[in-house]
Amino acid sequence: MGKQFRVEESDRRLTLTDWSPASPGGFARFAEIADRGTAQILIGRYLSLPLAADTGDSGRVYWDEVIGVQVRDRMGELIGTVIDCYRAGGAEVYIVRTADGGEIDVPAVASIIVSFTPREGVIIADLTGSDLTPRGPKRVKSARLERSDRNP
């Protein structure tokens, strides 16, 4: 206990005082949070914990080391850049932003990931034969109302 967590997108720090595992996740108490009502502001926010400089496991790669890495195909063509990660079932999935602004979820499984060297700045993926296709870029809706959307 006593570990200092940083709240996503802020300079706020929280000191862990108690942790109880639960499924899924767990229950945490922080010195700076007095009650459940105060904790409501943390819903949906990530908490990060700085890693020690030497984790002792050189084979382990953390998500923050994968974010920003280029994903290329076997021919060296750029598929995109990893912008986020999540876990689905037993596998990690990398959200890759394509050059046109679209996104594709690439599962980190042996049938897709050919070479995994994020510390060298590249992941090689083979998407041939998979059902993986990029989602197009998100469109921003215009604030202008169409004639049919207006009240009579």
pLDDT at 147 > cutoff 60: no
Residue appearing with tokens 């079932």: 89
Task: Tell me how far apart the alpha carbons of residues 42 and 55 are, in angstroms, rounded to a whole number.
Answer: 28
Verdict on whether the full-model pTM lies above 0.75: no
Domain range for 89 is: 63-125
Q: For 31-98, list the strands marked E by DSSP.
A: 47-48, 70-72, 78-88, 91-97
Q: Do 92 and 41 belong to one domain? A: no
- The model's pLDDT over 5-47, given as tens digits with 9 standing for 90+, comes to 888 877 888 898 988 877 667 788 899 998 888 888 888 888 8
pLDDT at 140 > cutoff 80: no
The reported pLDDT for the residue numbered 89 is 81
Q: Do 42 and 88 belong to one domain? A: no
Tokens of 49: 């914990």
Q: Do 86 and 116 belong to one domain? A: yes
- The model's pLDDT over 60-113, given as tens digits with 9 standing for 90+, comes to 788 888 989 999 999 999 999 999 999 888 889 999 999 888 899 999 999 999
Mean of all residue pLDDT scores within the chain: 81
Q: Do 31 and 76 belong to one domain? A: no
Task: Tell me how far apart the alpha carbons of residues 130 and 113 are, in angstroms, rounded to a whole number.
Answer: 12
14 part of a folded domain: yes
Q: For 22-147, list the strands marked E by DSSP.
A: 26-30, 47-48, 70-72, 78-88, 91-97, 103-107, 113-117, 122-125
16 part of a folded domain: yes
72 part of a folded domain: yes
Task: Tell me how far apart the alpha carbons of residues 115 and 107 are, in angstroms, rounded to a whole number.
Answer: 13
Task: Tell me how far apart the alpha carbons of residues 74 and 13 are, in angstroms, rounded to a whole number.
Answer: 43
Report the first-to-last Cα separation within the chain, whole angstroms.
62
Domain count within the chain: 2
The reported pLDDT for the residue numbered 139 is 61
Q: What is the CATH number of the domain that holds 83?
A: 2.30.30.240
